[in-house]
Amino acid sequence: MRWLAHAKINWTLDITGRRDDGYHLMDMLMQPIALADVITIEPAAELTLSVSGTPAVPADQHNLALRAAEALRRAAGCEAGAAISLEKHIPSGAGLGGGSADAAAVLIGLNLLWGIRWPLERLCGIGLSLGADIPFCLTGALSRVRGIGEDVLPLGDGLSLPCVIVQPCEALSTGEVFRLFDSARDIAHPDTAAVKAALTSGRLRDVPRRPGNVLEAVSIPLRPQIAEAIDALLAAGASVAQMSGSGSAVFGIFAWKRPAEKAAARLGARWPVCHLTRTQAAPVTLLAWR
């Protein structure tokens, strides 16, 4: 079977507190985009993973897709194997949830291949133990995500809009970004409820040009190119532009396809990691099953 594991963007990202165990409490509006990795899963005697498309992504225990497969097999008491092939297209270290998307697609695929047939809620529990974004990547749609990622509230399909993704610099350390946030003062918090109301009503015009990501302000001093890319997207006609997740990618949302195409061509000449895509509802798409 072949799957598309879709990236995501954060329309908003807020941090509302911290648990006693150190985990940050989040409040986010997230949505899948069409940009995706391709995952092929075939029956095999052993459980293996191969990766193509980039040398930066490991094929060992550091890869969330393989860890998800092993976690599902342990939890289900399953002894079957699978040959998993991962073709990377989502930029790494970008805040686009590529690793989480891969893990979600593997959980869904192996749940079917191995005949486990657990409900989505149970897969989400396994996913959460591996990464905070995985429950959303299993659920999809426009969603409000709270807690440490376990509280996913789907809000409908959301708007399907042209989107330009730019990664203007090298990856950021997620841990360092969160540490900088913890020591920061006077961080502006997004009005997540207002952005939610605008998106669920289909009113892109009511979404602020920079709807709010509290990690953006502490990331820009580390990578000034992030601010440069946001400004370039807005200058190119984006209705909305900001950093996604903990960076270092930024996204621009356009009301129309043609301006997005022009922006992607112009910005792609400046920053090689540039993708023209769209927002959508599905987090994982089945391409073929034979």
Catalytic residues: 8, 133
Contact 50, 63 (CB under 8 A): no
Owner of token pair 């900088």? 180
Q: CA–CA distance from 269 to each of 224, 228, 240, 272, 275 (Å)?
A: 19, 14, 21, 6, 12
Owner of token pair 């974004």? 133
Question: How far is the C-alpha of 166 from the C-alpha of 253, rounded, in Å?
Answer: 12
Q: Which two tokens stand for residue 74?
A: 């342990």
Question: How far is the C-alpha of 83 from the C-alpha of 72, rounded, in Å?
Answer: 15
| 192 Cβ contact partners less than 8 Å away, ≥ 6 residues apart | 12, 14, 27, 28, 29, 144, 212
| 120 Cβ contact partners less than 8 Å away, ≥ 6 residues apart | 138, 139
Cα angle, residue 80 at apex, residues 79 and 84 outer, rounded to 5°? 130
Q: Which two tokens stand for residue 86?
A: 């991962």
Angular region, 162: left φ>0, alpha ψ -120 to 50, beta rest: beta
10, 11, 21, 20: which is closest to 96 by C-alpha?
A: 10
